[in-house]
C-alpha cells in the first residue's frame, strides 16, 4: 500500500516522498505472505469499486503481474447467505462484473473435480472477471516505478518515535506530526531471516545491538501504511486504533502424492471458496489452500502450525469436497497477518485532529486487490484535499463511532 501510494504521489509531481519500511524484502509483510487472490465481487460498494479499479489495472499489466482472469467460484451451503449473495449480485453486475448464479448441477458439470457432498450445497456464484495475481510482482512493480519517479525507499529502517506539535486549524487547534525518529537496523542481505526483523516486528522495540544509526525525518505530510502494525504507530501519538493483527495460515499441497497418476486437475481454474471456509487455487505444480481458524487470538504471531494445520484443517476439507484430494501431501506453508477491523473493511483517509496525518491500512484479506485504487485515491486526497477516481469516504476511521456508518464486509475469508 505504501509503495502504491508513493508511486501515485510521485506521478502527480509530488517530490520528496520517502517510504520507510523495516521489511522491504517482505519476509513478514502481509503483501508477501498472502494468497494472491484478486476479486471485485464484494458486498460493499467501496470494496467493489476499489477492487474493480485495481483489477482493471492488473489486467492492463497482466504479463507483469501474472494476472490470470480465471474467476472465483464461491460455494454456498447456507440459505440466508445464498439469498444475500444473489441480492448483492445486482450491485456487482452493475459494476460490470458479470457474476453468474450456478445451481448445484451446474457446479457438478462445470467443475467436475468437485465431486463430493454437493448435495449439501444450495448454490454457487462464479465471477469470471476475478482471478489470481502474483502479489510480489505487484509490490516490486509499484516500488520500481516509484523509484523511477524519484521516491526514496529506506529499507531496514524502523519508525521508532514521532514528534508532534500543536498547529492551528480553521475549526480550532490541530496537532501536526513534525518528524519521525527512524532507527536503521543491522545490515545484511535484505532477505536474511536472522530473526532481527521478526523480533522488532513482534516486540516493537529495536535492540541496541542491532541499531546502526538513528535519524530524524521532518514531515510535511505523513501516511500510516503500516498494515497490521498501524495501531503501534497510532498509539505513539495517542490515537486509538480498532485494528487487530490476526494470524492467517496457508498450506501448499502436493497433489501428486501417493502415486495418484492423474493428480488433482485444477488446470485453468481460479479461486474456489468452500462453505467450510477453505479456499484453494492452483499454484505452480501445487495447490495453495488457506483456512482462517475461527477465534484465532489477535497477536503478532508468525508461527506456522505445519503438519498439524494441514492434517486438521486443510486436508479434511479438501477431501470432503473432491475425491482426488483423498491422497495428497503437505509441502510446506506459512503464516502472515491480517489487519482486522470490526467490520472487515479497511481504514483510509485523513486522521481527525491532525493537520498532516493520513492513513491507509487494515485491509484485512483485501489489500493487494485494493492497492492501486486506494493508492491513487489517497494521493489525490493528499495533493488536492479531495478524492478522485475512487471515493474512500466510507473508509474513514470515524465510522467506528457510529454503527450506522460501519462497512460490514461479510464476503470475507
Q: Which residues in this chain contact ligand FAD in the complex, by CB under 6 A?
A: 1-2, 20-23, 28-31, 33-37, 158-159, 201, 225-229, 233, 248, 250, 290, 336-338, 361, 363, 365-369
DSSP H helical ranges for 21-126: 30-33, 45-60, 62-65, 79-94, 104-110
Q: Which residues contact 353 (CB under 8 A, 6 or more apart)?
A: 174, 175, 239
Compute the distance between CA of residue 150 and CA of residue 244 in angstroms, rounded to an integer. Answer: 33
Closer of 233 and 324 to ligand FAD (Cβ): 233
Cβ of residue 147: shortest distance to ligand FAD, in angstroms? 16
Q: How deeply is 147 buried, as exposed, middle or buried, from its count of CB atoms within 10 A (0-12, 13-18, 19+)?
A: middle
Closer of 37 and 282 to ligand FAD (Cβ): 37
Closer of 123 and 336 to ligand FAD (Cβ): 336
Cβ of residue 45: shortest distance to ligand FAD, in angstroms? 18
Closer of 106 and 164 to ligand FAD (Cβ): 164
3-class DSSP state for residue 97? coil
User: What cell does 361 get?
Assistant: 491500512
Closer of 227 and 263 to ligand FAD (Cβ): 227
DSSP assigned state of 210? G
Cβ of residue 33: shortest distance to ligand FAD, in angstroms? 5
Residue of this chain nearest to ligand FAD (CB atom): 367
3-class DSSP state for residue 404? helix
> Dmax of the chain from CA atoms?
72
User: What cell does 222 get?
Assistant: 505523513
Tell me how far CA of residue 223 lies from CA of 111, 159, 228, 238, 295, in angstroms: 44, 12, 14, 16, 31
Closer of 2 and 263 to ligand FAD (Cβ): 2
Q: Which residues contact 184 (CB under 8 A, 6 or more apart)?
A: 154, 156, 157, 158, 211, 212, 213, 214, 215
Cβ of residue 367: shortest distance to ligand FAD, in angstroms? 2
Closer of 18 and 406 to ligand FAD (Cβ): 18
Cβ of residue 198: shortest distance to ligand FAD, in angstroms? 10
Cβ of residue 387: shortest distance to ligand FAD, in angstroms? 19
Cβ of residue 30: shortest distance to ligand FAD, in angstroms? 4
Amino acid at each position: 500500500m505504501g509503495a502504491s501510494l508513493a508511486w501515485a504521489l510521485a506521478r502527480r509531481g509530488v517530490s520528496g516522498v520517502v517510504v520507510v519500511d523495516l521489511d522491504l524484502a517482505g519476509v513478514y509483510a502481509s503483501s508477501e505472505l498472502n494468497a494472491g487472490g484478486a476479486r471485485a465481487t464484494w458486498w460493499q460498494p467501496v470494496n467493489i469499486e476499489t477492487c474493480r479499479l485495481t483489477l482493471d489495472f492488473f489486467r492492463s499489466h497482466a504479463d507483469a503481474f501474472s494476472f490470470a482472469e480465471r474467476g472465483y467460484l464461491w460455494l454456498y451451503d447456507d440459505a440466508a447467505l445464498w439469498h444475500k449473495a444473489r441480492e448483492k449480485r445486482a450491485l456487482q453486475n452493475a459494476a460490470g462484473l458479470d457474476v453468474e448464479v450456478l445451481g448445484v448441477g451446474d457446479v457438478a458439470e462445470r467443475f467436475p473435480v468437485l465431486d463430493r457432498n454437493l448435495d449439501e450445497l444450495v448454490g454457487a456464484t462464479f465471477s469470471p472477471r476475478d482471478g489470481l495475481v502474483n502479489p510480489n510482482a505487484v509490490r516490486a512493480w509499484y516500488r520500481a516505478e516509484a523509484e523511477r519517479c524519484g521516491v526514496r525507499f529506506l529499507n531496514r529502517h524502523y519508525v521508532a518515535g514521532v514528534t508532534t506539535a500543536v498547529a492551528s486549524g480553521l475549526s480550532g487547534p490541530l496537532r501536526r506530526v513534525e518528524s519521525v525518529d527512524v532507527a536503521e537496523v543491522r545490515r545484511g542481505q535484505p532477505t536474511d531471516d536472522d530473526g532481527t526483523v521478526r523480533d522488532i516486528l513482534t516486540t516493537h522495540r529495536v535492540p541496541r545491538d542491532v541499531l546502526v544509526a538513528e535519524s530524524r525525518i521532518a514531515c510535511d505530510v505523513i501516511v500510516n501504511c503500516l498494515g497490521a502494525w498501524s495501531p503501534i504507530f497510532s498509539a505513539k501519538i495517542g490515537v486509538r486504533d480498532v485494528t487487530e493483527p490476526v494470524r492467517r495460515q496457508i498450506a501448499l499441497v502436493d497433489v501428486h502424492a501417493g502415486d495418484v497418476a492423474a493428480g488433482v486437475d485444477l488446470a485453468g481454474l481460479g479461486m474456489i471458496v468452500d462453505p467450510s471456509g477453505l479456499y484453494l487455487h492452483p499454484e505452480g505444480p501445487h495447490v495453495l489452500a488457506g483456512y482462517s481458524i475461527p477465534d484465532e487470538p489477535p497477536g503478532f504471531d508468525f508461527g506456522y502450525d505445519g503438519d498439524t494445520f494441514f492434517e486438521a484443517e486443510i486436508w479434511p476439507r479438501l477431501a470432503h469436497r473432491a475425491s482426488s484430494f483423498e491422497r495428497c501431501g503437505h509441502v510446506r506453508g506459512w503464516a502472515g497477518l491480517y489487519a482486522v477491523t470490526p467490520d472487515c473493511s479497511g481504514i483510509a483517509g485523513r486522521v481527525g485532529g491532525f493537520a498532516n496525518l493520513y492513513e491507509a491500512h487494515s485491509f484485512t484479506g483485501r489489500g493487494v486487490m485494493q492497492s492501486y485504487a486506494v493508492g491513487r485515491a489517497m494521493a489525490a486526497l493528499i495533493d488536492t484535499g479531495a478524492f478522485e477516481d475512487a471515493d474512500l469516504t466510507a473508509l474513514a476511521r470515524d465510522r467506528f463511532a457510529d454503527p450506522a456508518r460501519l462497512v460490514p464486509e461479510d464476503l470475507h475469508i
